Every structure is written in C-alpha cells, then in structure tokens.
Structure 1
Amino acid sequence: MRAFKQPPILGKTLLGLAVAGTLGATQVQAGEVEVLHWWTSGGEAQAVGVLKELVEAEGHSWKDFAVAGGAGDSAMTVLKSRAMSGNPPSAAQINGPEIQEWGELGLLGNLDDVAEQGDWDALLPEVVADMMRHDGQYVAVPVNVHRVNWLWANPEVFADAGVEVPTSWDEMFVVGEQLRAAGYVPLAHGGQPWQDATVFESVVLSLGGSDLYRQAFVELDAEALESDTMIEALTTFKRLRELMDDGMPGRDWNLSTSMVIGGHAAMQIMGDWAKGEFIAAGLEAGEDYVCAPVPGTASDFIFNIDSFAMFRVTDDAAREAQQTLARLVLEPEFQSAFNQVKGSIPARPDLDMSEFDSCAQQSLADFQGASEGNTLVPSMAHRMAMRSDVQGAFFDIITNYFNSADMTAEQAAERLVRAASVAG
C-alpha cells in the first residue's frame, strides 16, 4: 500500500467562514452551546471539529460533550441521566425515532424559524425532513446521510491473494477461504451488539430485499420475522463468523477498519463513517481502498441520518447559539467540508459533488436511485427503524444468536417475533 498522505486540509474553507462569521458575530448575543455526541474516532473527531470552529467563529462558545461508543448507546444513557436530573445539554446527537420519543416528553425546542429562513422544506428530501419534525415542527437538524450497507476492501490484499472482491455470499465464503490461506483475516469485525446488528441487517436486505426488510424491521411483522428468508439470513449471518478472527469480541469498529487499512484484514462490512478512517489515514478511494455495496444490495440503500436535536433552553443567548448551530449545519460550506471528512454524503442533495470522492458520488447516486425505486430503507442497527426499547431487544437476540453455539436460526427468529409482539 502506498505511503500515507496528510488528511485533507480544510483551512482555507474554514478561514473564509471564520472571517464571515466574526463579522456577523457582533450582531448577535454570544452564548454557549453544549453538544453531546459520540464522534470520538480519528475521522469523526476531525469532522466534528469543523462544526466547532464554525460555531466559535460566529462568537459563540462550544462545550464539547463527547461520549465514546460506536452506535451511541453510551451517549444515550448519559443523555437520559442528564435529562432526568433536569440538566440536558442544549444540543444532542439524536437519530431517527428517538427524536420523536424526546419530543413526546416535551423537552425539545422549536427550530421552525431557522427552518423557514433556510427553506428546509424545499431543501431537504422528504425522508430526511420527516425525521427532523415532531408534531409538524422542526426540532432537529440533519447533518448528513450515511449508507450502512457498504463493503470496504483493501485492493492490495486481494491482489496478493489472487482473488476478486465478492459480489455474492457464495463468492464471499469461497474468497474468504482463499484469503485465509494467503495469511489474511477475510472479514474484520468488532464483536459488539450494534456491529453484529449492522452486519445482520445488510444480510437481511441482500436476501429479502427492501420489502421484507421493511416488514421485519419497520412494521415488525411476525410472518416476515419467522419467514424462510429470515431463517436463511440468520444462517448466513452466523456463518460469517468463519471469516472473522479470534480477537473480534469487544473490538471497536475503527480498530477493525484499521485492520483493513493496515493490510491485516481484507474486508469490513460497515457504514460509510468507516471511510472517515481511510480519509484520516490519507488514503484515496478507488486507489488505496475499495467501496462496494454489500453483496446483493447494489440497488438498495440502508440509511442512517446523523442529526442534532435541540433541547428547550430559557436563556436568550443560549437559544441564539442553538439557532446558529442549526443554521450552520445546513449551510453549503459546512455540509461540504464536514461530509468530505466524515465519509457521508450531504443531507441536502443540491450541492456540487465534484470535490467528493468516488465512493461519495456513488453513494449519492445510489441514494437517489433507491429513493426513486422505493428501495431506501431505515437502519435497524442505527436508530432509524424502530423505538429504542425494541431495538435493544433485537440487539440482545441478534448478538446472543451470533455468539451461541447452540441457538438455532429458528429459535432466534422465534425470539425476534416475541420481542416484536411485546412492542406491539
């Protein structure tokens, strides 16, 4: 693999924004915005730093409240504790249906004025805008759109082993044996519940298509959850353990990505935040690493939308800082700079993508194609498809099945049905 280059330099973009922001900062009352998020890996930390600089350039102060943990489980635990004590942060990374749960508690602020000024209704795809509203009012702002069903590969590893990146599960297992024989870990993975669920939902989509996926994970339909296709997906999912290494349990996702970057492993199934790690390592898409849809999902798109929800504040300066944060998040300069570092695509589809890499350009095209073809589905593993309590039950079943030598696919399916029926 070629020598690492320095990560992309955003200085000129941020300098220009800082000058503009400083000029505008004299017109507003400076306030503090405390932001809870779980962006702590190398690429993610660099990405959130972009937003911090922009907020501070407008005269406000940013109080960072970062809680490590890939899918945000630890962050949500801390947020609930803070909220129950009557001291939530002014802004928090909250995704999907959980925005509605917090809205129902009456704790979220209203962003309609900012949304009207920025014409969010016309700007955002409907599937994105819907996630940001509670009772018809904007309470959150989208940062990006992630594609979850990505396969990341190291081309030098594949070349050395004399094999091609697989496009089907049958090929995956054949190629995996050859990669193992060549001295590589075929599939890098971190044995954490959310990572197990990330792989599992892609397998379900590949074998059952978007219709079965929605029936199972959005509608919680018992027939879909115990169907022959679901049994096949569970069986294929567990078989993937054969391609992983013994150090998998408990490994953080970015360490698995590093295994691919460093040439120790050949592949990883992970959302496109993994690309932020490749970017931070100075690598180029299509040359130093390969992105491909998970086998069987080329026309499908599992989406995860990162967003910031705003909690009610009584202080005028704090509210001004909140609204500034919300406005900045959707401005073109931030959307472009942030998402090029983070690995995702902009939440607004009207931006010039010529400066984005080939993976991002493919992701946007696939997002638009899936939207038109009705094959765009919300991520079960990343808080997009179901309530948090149901998701937690599904996580337990999926990861217990994946790590059990005794539980059958049929038994796992039965447990998913029971968990769904309790939720209903």
Structure 2
Amino acid sequence: MTSDTNLTRRRYLQGAGAAGAALTMAGCLGGGGGGGSEEVELLHGWSGGDGQAAFDALLAGFEEEYPDVDVNANAIGGSGNTTLDARINTRLGNNNPPSSWAEWPGQNLTQFTSEDLLGDIEEDVWSQNNMKEAYLEGPQEAAQVGGSYVCVPTNIHRLNNVFYNVSVLEDAGIDAGSLETPADLVEAAATVEEETDAIGFAHAMSNPWTTLQLWACVFLGEHGTEAYDAFINGEGDVDKVQSSLETVAELSEYFNSDAGTVGFQEANQYVIDGEAAFFDNGDWAAQMYISQEDFEYGTDWDHIAFPGTEDYYSLNMDSWVFPADGPNPEDTKKWLTYCGTKDAQVRFNTNKGSIPPRSDVSTEEFGPFQTDQIGDFQDSEAQPPSIAHGLATTPEVLNNLKQATQSNFSTPSQSAAEETAQAYIDAF
C-alpha cells in the first residue's frame, strides 16, 4: 500500500532507524529493549495518574485470565504520546516491534498501514467474545483501515466538556446551564473575573494540542458538524476557521497567567483549588476531580457540554494494535482478545474516566459522572472524531496543525487569527 501523506516503507525505516541509533547511543532504549519470543512486550504512554491506574487494572485482569503468559509492560511517558511515538518509530525502524502498543485508532493508523506494518486480526480477535455485535459502530470503524481490523479500542473519551467549580460560579452568579454559545462562555469567564478573585478560564499551552482541541470545540460550537466534517476532509471554510480562532483569542484574555508553561493537569488543579471557574478538556480530566477527597460531583464540581455542542459527543479513543511482524503473535492475540472483553473495559474505563466502546457493558460499576456520559453518548446526534488526537486526521496533517498552532498562535490574539486560519487550511 502507498500513500502520498506517508514515507515509503524504506524511507520510513531508514529515517526511524537513524533516530533509533541516536537513541540507543544515548541509552534511551535501556539496552535495546525488545521482547523475546516467550513474552508479550507492551508499550504505552500512561506513566502516571488515571492512565497508569487504568492500565494497571487492565493488566491485572489479563494476568488473572492468562496466568501462563509472561508480560513485559513499559510506560513511555511524555506529553501527547510524543515520547512513545518516538520510541515506536525507532523500534519499527530497527525491525524490532514490541508485541503491541497503545495507539490512537482511526486515521492515525495510516502511518503504519500504508507500509503494511500492522496485521489483520478479524478472525483471531474480532470474531471472539461477540465483539463485532457488541462494539459500537464508531469504535469498530476506527479499528479498521481499508477494511482490515488492525487494533482493539478500549475506551471512548469525550472531548467537548467544560468542567467548572460550582462554588466559583455561584459566587459569580452564573448558571452554567444557561450558556448556549461559545460567546456566552467568553462572557461568563469575564463575569467570573469581575465578580470574584478566580481565574475565568484555566488553560494549558505548554503543548499545542490543548489549544488545537479548544479551537475544535469552539469551531464545532459555532459552526456545527457540517463545517467540522468539511474541515477534516480538507474542504474547510477559512473565514469560519478564523472566526473561531478569534473567539479563542477573546477567551484567552481570561486564561491563567502561566498558561504558556503548564500542562493540562496543572491547569486543571486551579479548578480543584477553587482558583479558576472553567476548564475545557477531555473527560480524563474528571478523574482528577473524582480522586480528590471531599470534592463531590454535582456539589463541588460539575460539567456541561461545550456551549453550542450539546447534541454532540466529540470523541477520541485509545487502542492496542497488532504489528504484522511482532514477537509472540499468539500470546499477543490473547492480550488483544482480552482487551475487547467486558471485564477488561470495566477495569480500564472505571479508572480512566472514559466509557466503554462495547454497548453491552453494565453501568453498575461506573460512578455518576461516567454514567451521565454514557447516557449523553447514547442520546447524541453526532460523534465528531477528534482532530487534536489524530482520530480524524492523518499524522502528517495533525503535525501541520500543531506546528501552525505552535508557530502562529502560541499566544492567541486577534491579529494572529488570520494567518493561523490559513495555516490550518493549508495543513491538508
């Protein structure tokens, strides 16, 4: 298979191999890595927080189900999976893939499938445990590239959330349920800063994906799914793109002063501490609230759909892929088969703050926030795929969008909106 948005297999392997040589000399691979034929080697990016707890729970369930399978699991931390991606490219470049690794599905997988680096697991995995019948349509489509099943999604994250501190909004006299448009959210953030000592809108900009994700929510809220679909298909309206960037610039007037240097967890902490009113991020952010003592859902913190997107469930997913030439393929298929079970998805999602991609998982073990999210998903009119996480865009396009954000909009402003909008259009 070929694609003009990806390197040829030879160039892909040569380029990644050169990076691998440099990483190996620097000792980054810990002596070369690579699982032997008798173990299942798993790589993922969850080195802390909710992700680590979710993976640990998932692995514990697998080891109970398959006690005779040896697993060598390694967390490769780094913002937005950057470090994990570099490690995977290096391993593939050295013809030394792990047994499986955590990866965003959808268009993100074309970087591998265009070079035949992933194998088809329809018969050995997707035909087990009633997966084809139980998986929701969106996750099942995201698991396929060119009609071949190459991964197993484990969860669904919602992106169009606005979380808020209940006390801060009460002090400011704001009813979150009354916010109907992104402009309303900007006005509410201004009111918070006028009426209280709190930050209007907590945000993190140390990595460009957070601002790209915020823009996508604003764009969806202002222009709807038709414009959104046109954009991700490379047919976006530059004027609409620019208007939403201008709204982000307006909202940035109420960001925390250290937004340019902090990550999303630090920004989210402002809401927990009562120092900020609003925060927009994926539902993984909710796990920080849930883990806090004496910080209760509906009483101390709450959330709404991003204003203007009430009928949408903008989503991203995590998945585990099957490399075509990976070590120990039979035991790797056992891992992937387990990841598709109800037990695995309860264990993983109750810790991750996400919801299961299987439709037959009971909500009994999920808390009230996730139960509400499951209801919102079932009632949603559309499920727009994530731009900032590669579900809707190829890696090349996503890299271009991030670069445009970093280069032109790292300090959001009205004057930067026009140039950034054109760069977003040109990203395709």
Q: So what's the TM-score if we normalise by structure 2?
A: 0.84
Q: Check if 1:254 corresponds to 2:265.
A: yes
Hey, what does 1:110 align to over in structure 2?
120
Q: Check if 1:352 corresponds to 2:362.
A: yes
Q: Check if 1:125 corresponds to 2:133.
A: no
AA paired with 2:317? Answer: I
Q: Matches of 1:328 and 1:288 in 2, distance apart? A: 37
AA paired with 1:176? Answer: A
**Which of 173, 192, 198 is the matching residue for 1:184?**
198
Hey, what does 1:62 align to over in structure 2?
71
Most deviating of 95-104 and 142-151: 95-104
Q: Check if 1:170 corresponds to 2:183.
A: yes
Aligned with 1:40: secondary structure? coil
- Percent identity reads 25
AA paired with 2:95? Answer: G
Hey, what does 2:424 align to over in structure 1?
416
Q: Matches of 2:209 and 2:248 in 1, distance apart? A: 14
Hey, what does 1:35 align to over in structure 2?
42
Aligned with 2:393: secondary structure? coil
> For the aligned residues, what is the CA RMSD?
2.0
After TM superposition, the structure 1 = structure 2 runs for residues 25-424 of structure 1, keeping only pairs within 5 Å, are 31-57=38-64, 58-59=66-67, 60-95=69-104, 96-112=106-122, 113-165=124-176, 166-181=179-194, 182-191=196-205, 192-217=207-232, 219-221=233-235, 224-227=236-239, 229-282=240-293, 283-313=295-325, 315=327, 318-370=328-380, 373=381, 375-399=382-406, 400-403=408-411, 405=413, 407-420=415-428
How far is 1:300 from its partner? Answer: 1.2
Moved over 6 A (4+): none
Q: Structure 1's 63 and 284: CA in aligned 2 closer, same or farther, altered over 3 A?
A: farther
Q: Structure 1's 314 and 202: CA in aligned 2 closer, same or farther, altered over 3 A?
A: closer
Aligned with 2:299: secondary structure? coil
Query: How many corresponding residue pairs?
Result: 382
| 8 Å CA contact retained: 1:99, 1:131 | no
Aligned with 2:409: secondary structure? helix
How far is 1:405 from its partner? Answer: 5.0
How far is 1:407 from its partner? Answer: 4.1
How far is 1:56 from its partner? Answer: 2.6
Q: So what's the TM-score if we normalise by structure 1?
A: 0.84
Unaligned 5+ residue runs, structure 1? Answer: 1-29
Aligned with 1:292: secondary structure? strand
Aligned with 1:403: secondary structure? coil
Q: Matches of 1:383 and 1:142 in 2, distance apart? A: 14
Unaligned 5+ residue runs, structure 2? Answer: 1-36
Q: Matches of 1:110 and 1:47 in 2, distance apart? A: 26
How far is 1:402 from its partner? Answer: 4.5
AA paired with 1:123? Answer: A
Q: Matches of 1:396 and 1:406 in 2, distance apart? A: 19
Aligned with 1:368: secondary structure? helix
AA paired with 1:209? Answer: G
Q: Structure 1's 367 and 86: CA in aligned 2 closer, same or farther, altered over 3 A?
A: same
